[in-house]
């Protein structure tokens, strides 16, 4: 499929980054035109209003369609509900996802996913870094907590699937995170490198279970965790572990979708691994797309290092081609930006009613 793309353009498919501005700035346009990115992630810094965001998405995708491979970019955001919601009013302010767990309602999980997806779709976003499929097994966890649906793996799996089903029907890509499970950590991977020292059987039954079930039901994209699981790999966090991504996720669980890293700027990676080693470690572990949320300037540096790794044989060109093909397949199926500006008034009342219903389960 990508025989007409240069090595640089194939590598570009593997890079996912944040960017500055509420309009398409020359720096972002350069990344797109020179083929350095396959996807972009939005933050508060990119958002003023739904109208402005829709216009920005039109600019971004028009630019992407004008250059090889002439496909729309993956455009994502962290919009989970609760404290992780990058897009403010008039996007609906939903409660923490743990409200869904307290309701034990597949219908509510589905309706939440449907409403959230429709708001994103209206402005041209085609992907959300949700749902959290972590099981909240550690009350002292500083980063997951009420972002998780439940402390029961079967409930996380059941409710997570209903959420994902709604996203699929609305043509928005859901990203299950953080594989193989961030729920039992006592450190925040933004700040340090956490460890989970459960035995293998416990990891299987608790952390892994929601991913096993949602993969079986067709989950498209999985985000890795920057966490060491000592029973499986004492040396590398999941993001850089062939044992976890290749042996467990690909071979044993049969996952065929995209593997996306968590933010490579986090201290769990930045403080423990040399930057120049990351492309070869990540690709050889099995990562398809590398996420850089804030360090915009690292994208070209990462791409050039990966190109050098291919030239020296540290990474096989075939591996890059296979990853590029997987990303291109996803980009080929992306919906276009809506032709008309978003009309949030059309669903404001019904979505707020849903948010209030969810909040009712939190007491």
Of the listed 78, 128, 134, 262, which one is catalytic?
Answer: 262
Give CA–CA dist 3/339, Å, rounded: 32
SS3 state at 70: coil
Among 21-25, 94-98, 185-189, name the one with the lowest average pLDDT: 185-189
Give CA–CA dist 38/288, Å, rounded: 11
pLDDT score at 142 = 78
Give CA–CA dist 232/58, Å, rounded: 44
| Neighbouring residues of 121: CB distance < 8 A, sequence distance ≥ 6 | 170, 171, 172, 335, 338
pLDDT score at 363 = 77
The residue among 44, 125, 122 whose CA lies nearest residue 86 is 44
- DSSP 8-state assignment for residue 268: H
Res. 232 pLDDT band, cuts 50 70 90: very high
> Does residue 89 have a pLDDT over 80?
yes
In this structure, CATH architecture of domain 17-26+40-360: Alpha-Beta Barrel (3.20)
Q: What percent of the chain has pLDDT over 90?
A: 90
> Any alpha helices (H) in the chain, and if so which ranges?
7-12, 26-33, 50-65, 98-103, 106-122, 153-169, 200-202, 209-216, 242, 267-270, 278-285, 298-312, 317-332, 348-360
Average pLDDT over residues 296-306: 91
> Does residue 1 have a pLDDT over 70?
no
Res. 296 pLDDT band, cuts 50 70 90: confident
pLDDT score at 140 = 80
pLDDT score at 185 = 83
> Does residue 291 have a pLDDT over 60?
yes
CB 232 within 8 A of CB 200: yes
Mean pLDDT of the chain: 95
Peptide bond just before 178 cis, omega within 30 deg:
yes
Quote the distance between the C-alpha of residue 138 and its chain's center: 23
Average pLDDT over residues 319-336: 96
Residues β-bridged to residue 17 = 40, 292
Is 262 among the catalytic positions? yes
pLDDT score at 294 = 86
What is the phi/psi pair of residue 291, to 5°? -100, 125
Res. 3 pLDDT band, cuts 50 70 90: low
Is 233 among the catalytic positions? no
> Does residue 170 have a pLDDT over 80?
yes
Q: Which two tokens stand for residue 29?
A: 């346009």
pLDDT score at 347 = 94
Q: Which two tokens stand for residue 30?
A: 């350069």
Average pLDDT over residues 285-306: 93
Of the listed 151, 188, 190, 192, which one is catalytic?
Answer: 190
| Neighbouring residues of 130: CB distance < 8 A, sequence distance ≥ 6 | 78, 79, 80, 81, 116, 163, 174, 175, 177
């Amino acid at each position: 499929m990508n025989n007409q793309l240069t090595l640089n353009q194939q590598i570009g498919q593997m890079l996912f980054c944040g960017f500055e501005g509420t309009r398409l700035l020359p720096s972002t346009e350069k990344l797109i035109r020179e083929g350095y990115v396959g996807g972009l992630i939005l933050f508060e810094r990119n958002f003023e209003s739904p109208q402005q965001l829709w216009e920005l998405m039109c600019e971004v995708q028009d630019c992407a369609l004008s250059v090889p491979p002439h496909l729309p970019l993956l455009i994502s955001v962290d919009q989970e509900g609760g404290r992780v919601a990058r897009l403010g009013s008039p996007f609906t302010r939903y409660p923490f996802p743990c409200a869904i767990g307290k309701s034990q309602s597949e219908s509510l999980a589905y309706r939440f996913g449907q409403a959230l997806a429709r708001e994103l779709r209206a402005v041209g976003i085609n992907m959300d870094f949700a749902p959290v499929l972590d099981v909240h097994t550690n009350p002292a966890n500083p980063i997951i907590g009420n972002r998780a649906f439940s402390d029961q793996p079967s409930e996380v799996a059941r409710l997570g699937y209903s959420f994902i089903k709604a996203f699929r029907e609305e043509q928005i890509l859901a990203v299950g995170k953080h594989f193989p499970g961030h729920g039992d950590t006592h450190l925040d991977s933004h700040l340090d490198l956490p460890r989970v020292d459960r035995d293998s059987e416990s990891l299987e039954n608790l952390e892994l279970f929601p991913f096993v079930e949602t993969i079986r039901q067709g989950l498209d994209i999985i985000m890795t965790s920057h966490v060491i699981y000592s029973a499986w790999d004492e040396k590398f966090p999941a993001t850089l572990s062939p044992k976890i991504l290749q042996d467990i996720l690909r071979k044993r669980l049969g996952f065929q979708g995209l593997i996306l890293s968590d933010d490579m700027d986090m201290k769990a990676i930045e403080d423990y691994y040399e930057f120049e080693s990351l492309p070869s470690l990540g690709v050889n572990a099995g990562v398809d797309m590398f996420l850089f949320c804030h360090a915009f300037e690292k994208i070209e540096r990462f791409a050039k290092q990966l190109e050098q790794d291919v030239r020296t044989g540290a990474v096989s060109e075939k591996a890059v081609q296979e990853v590029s093909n997987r990303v291109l397949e996803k980009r080929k199926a992306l919906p276009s930006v809506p032709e008309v500006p978003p009309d949030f008034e059309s669903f404001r009342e019904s979505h707020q009613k849903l948010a209030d219903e969810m909040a009712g389960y939190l007491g």
